[in-house]
Structure 1
């Protein structure tokens, strides 16, 4: 991870964050006789009770689920009512504002201190026979909405437009394009389609163009591409630069983002998931978390076994923080040669509360990196796997690894989001930045057996 390097503006913001943190502590100390400790205790208890309610909502059905939902909503409401009843709301408000200012100034300081992404870019030749595969359904019709076919053809690219009514083998289409002389392959579509064509490009050592026409576009986001306007990705055809990134491999199949095992992989297997994601997940969660269908994912990281997990996510390079499952987190680099590993094991309400309170330090969370991950199952010879969001079944053991620097990616020089992602705000980072101390190397991954 890229650490803060320091600048005058960033140091000032970091000092403001530290002052706000000191202000939070001062207000708390001054309010000790006026219920300051009660405020902290009420917030902590409210968080724990809310987490227990969420667990009951996810892990049960019927009346128990309804009770869980009510508890999850009632806990924070009860905390607010307590503040009002005991006249603590002003103190709580000031504490909240001070802490909010700490986080806001801290995030701004770290953001301003970060350099551009450190992938080494090389000058790229303009391709003579680029071939782009476009999925008109992807991202709710972004291909048509942004006129990607017309713009790509004006820039000299051949476009292969997929027929939504026909199941297409995009990898075979890419191989055929290479056989006919293509000197660049690209995709306007989702991450699953990106990975299939990227594998062909890597196999033939051809540059690969990512057009952010999918729904979430995780790979495009981590490359710094414009996800709001995918047509800007096509600028790379005339004014581009090239970087090399790692390509994930799960039993010979490429992936650009993540491979998931356990709860999420089981849910996306269901045919009804595509049309009713939330409803399908809520219907299946009780059985997958505590019922008859609970499936423990067994894995070995670089040969060392970890405890069975309910959900295991393997990423092509590690995410900046343990929030990779949320979809909002990002990978600082795509060329470290390491897999990111995130495992979750929560068996009851007490462990759910521990996860809510302790976050990344919870015993229910495994966060580490590895060169390869072997997933096995003592219950089935074949298990569900979600590869870049695509639902598959694979025979065990399943090995995830990386092909270091295997993929040449062609990028436009002008990318709107080319800064490294902001790391989590911590006191250590703020102090280092505020006083211009040399940035300390980030701690290694955490591995719990």
Structure 2
């Protein structure tokens, strides 16, 4: 098929991105006599200092940690002061503005080529069963009257007894045995994953009610996290999405599986009541001390050696901007996202801050299967935020299209994110032929 619609728009935005990037370079070159080179030099030194400062803050204690905090905060401030003092602020501002335009146009171009998870009309369930955690999210079930609202819509509600450790999976299986034709959960992502696994096992639709604290899964489904009761609209007029379901050692996960530093931290009993304090207290020992373990992993044949942390996600995450919350544009790509980190010094941290994904300290890739090993019979693993101990090696895979998710037709937060920014791809979009595939993706 010939290039049209989204393809033409993607090409135009890609060309604008290249023009703006070239403009940023031209501004610096023309300002050479006024210190264009100094703008680049100060910026690079600021990034290096900021990266080193963050490392000292998280990996050390006492006066070194305080010094690191001062450096991390002070470096960008000092760069701005130098720009003003040397009369370079207008050059820096122009170059930064053009680079920001280049990034915005590049992301818009990539976003136009990105296929989205598509839904189809779904029949109304006749015997829906919803499990609700009354304490999840600080009591959202009661605050939004989710039990009453669900019952009005014909659902049977099982309110979890939080005074005991109930087997949520067993409750879901019992509901299926009693004739449920839909399973749903009002709770956190860990509980969502357990019931999602049962729903996928029995090929039943699954309803997500974002009544947890963070609700990352609901975020990427485009659900309204500010009002979880709106998810119940799917019971009377919803559409069905076929999405992937992660599997770690036979247990389902909907978001992420974490190995290494974060998994070690969440195992600590004090973490739930003091997350930041617990993390800051533990990280020096985990990053540079004897308490930290090193992980090896094999992802579709690629070997990751001596990693401090490995994060495996159900579909890859991307960030809309440098400060944006990472999200998944799709949940049906059929691939795991894999992120490995190995940073053992301030110099390596500075290199990571400067070069990002090009730094050897960071590995970003996709895979269909990853096996994580360590020099131990079992290792701590955080599965959708839940702390577990699993025997090694730990294998993560993906079950493409295994989960039928019922969502409302009106979803206010459907993500429109671009793939990871690669300038080679922008050049191809700008000057190559583009064609629309049957899946809706524009290819160059």
Assess same fold via TM > 0.5.
yes
Counterparts of 2:143 and 2:418, CA distance in 1: 32
Distance across 2 between alignment mates of 1:115 and 1:40: 33
Equivalent-residue separation in structure 2 for 1:294 and 1:275 (angstroms):
23
Runs of 4+ in 1 over 6 A off after TM superposition: 321-324, 439-442
| Alignment partner, residue 231 of structure 2 | 233
Aligned: 1:35 with 2:35: yes
> Alpha-carbon deviations, 1:37-67, whole Å to 9, x = none?
0110011011101111111111111111111
Which segment is superposed worse, 62-71 or 136-145?
136-145
Aligned to 2:6, the other structure's residue is in SS state coil
Please give the per-residue CA displacement for 1:106-142, whole angstroms capped at 9, x wherever unaligned.
Answer: 444544x2566244x3432211110111112222322
Q: What is the aligned partner in structure 2 of residue 354 from structure 1?
A: 351
Q: Distance in 1 between matches of 2:66 and 2:318?
A: 35
- Which string of whole-angstrom CA distances, capped at 9 and with x for unpartnered residues, describes residues 161-184 of structure 1? 223333322112111211221111
Instruction: Tell me by how many angstroms 1:7 deviates.
Output: 6.1
Structure 2 vs 1, CA of residues 417 and 431 (structure 1 numbering), >3 Å: closer, same or farther? Answer: farther
Verify the 8 A CA contact 2:7 2:434 in the aligned structure 1: no
Q: 2:383 aligns with which of 377, 387, 395?
A: 387
Which residue of structure 1 lines up, in the alignment, with residue 58 of structure 2?
Answer: 58
Aligned mates of 2:13, 2:223 — CA distance in 1:
28
Name the structure 2 match of 1:343: 340
Unaligned runs of 5+ in 1: 443-449
Q: Which residue of 2 aligns with 1:329?
A: 326
Residues 70-91 of structure 1: per-residue CA shift (max 9 Å, x gap): 2212222221222222222222
Q: 1:219 to 1:158 in 2, by over 3 A?
A: same
Residue from 242, 246, 249 that aligns with 2:247: 249
Distance verdict in 2 for CA 1:323–1:431, change over 3 Å: closer
1:289/1:76 Cα in 2 relative to 1: closer, same or farther (>3 Å)?
Answer: same
Provide closer, same or farther for how the CA distance between residues 188 and 16 of structure 1 changes in structure 2, counting only shifts above 3 A.
same
Identify if the C-alpha distance between structure 1 residues 88 and 186 changes in structure 2 by more than 3 Å, giving closer, same or farther: same
Equivalent residue in structure 1 for 2:410, among 411, 414, 421: 414
Alignment partners' CA distance in 2, 1:384 and 1:182: 35
Distance 1:439 1:432, change over 3 A: farther
Q: Is the 8 A contact 1:189 1:212 kept in 2?
A: yes
Q: Secondary structure at the match of 1:356?
A: helix
Find the counterpart in structure 2 of residue 149 from structure 1: 147
Question: Which digits, 9 at most, give the CA deviation of each residue in 1:144-201, with x for residues without a partner?
Answer: 2322222211111111122333332211211121122111100111110001111111
Post-superposition shift, 1:203? Answer: 1.7
Q: Normalized against structure 1, the TM-score is what?
A: 0.89
Decide whether the 8 Å contact of 2:7 with 2:435 is kept in 1: no
**What is residue 88 of structure 1 aligned with on the other side?**
88
CA gap of 1:342–1:150, structure 2 versus 1, over 3 A, is same
Matched, 1:191 2:189: yes
CA contact (8 A) 2:319 2:325 kept: no
1:31 positional shift: 0.5
| 1:69 Cα deviation from its structure 2 partner | 1.3
SS of the aligned residue for 2:125 comes to: coil
Asked if 1:48 corresponds to 2:44, the answer is: no
Equivalent in the alignment of 2:364 = 367
Gaps of 5+ in 2: none
For residues 429 and 338 of structure 1, the distance between their equivalents in structure 2, rounded to whole angstroms, comes to 20
Number of corresponding residues: 435
Write the distance in 2 (CA, Å) between the matches of 1:205 and 1:421: 29
* 1:445 corresponding residue in structure 2: none
Separation in 1, partners of 2:388, 2:324: 20
Query: 1:111-122, aligned counterparts within 5 Å?
Result: 111=111, 113=112, 117-119=116-118, 121-122=119-120
RMSD value, Cα: 2.7
Q: Using the alignment, how far apart are the partners of 1:11 and 1:233 within structure 2?
A: 37
1:364-415, Cα deviation, whole Å (9 max, x unpaired): 112222222222222x212110000001111212221122322221122222
Over 3 Å counting, the alpha-carbon distance change for 1:145 and 1:12 in structure 2 is farther
Aligned CA distance change for structure 1 residues 88 and 218 (closer, same or farther; 3 Å): same
SS in 2 for 1:238: helix
Distance 2:7 2:335 in 1: 30
Distance 1:327 1:381 in 2: 38
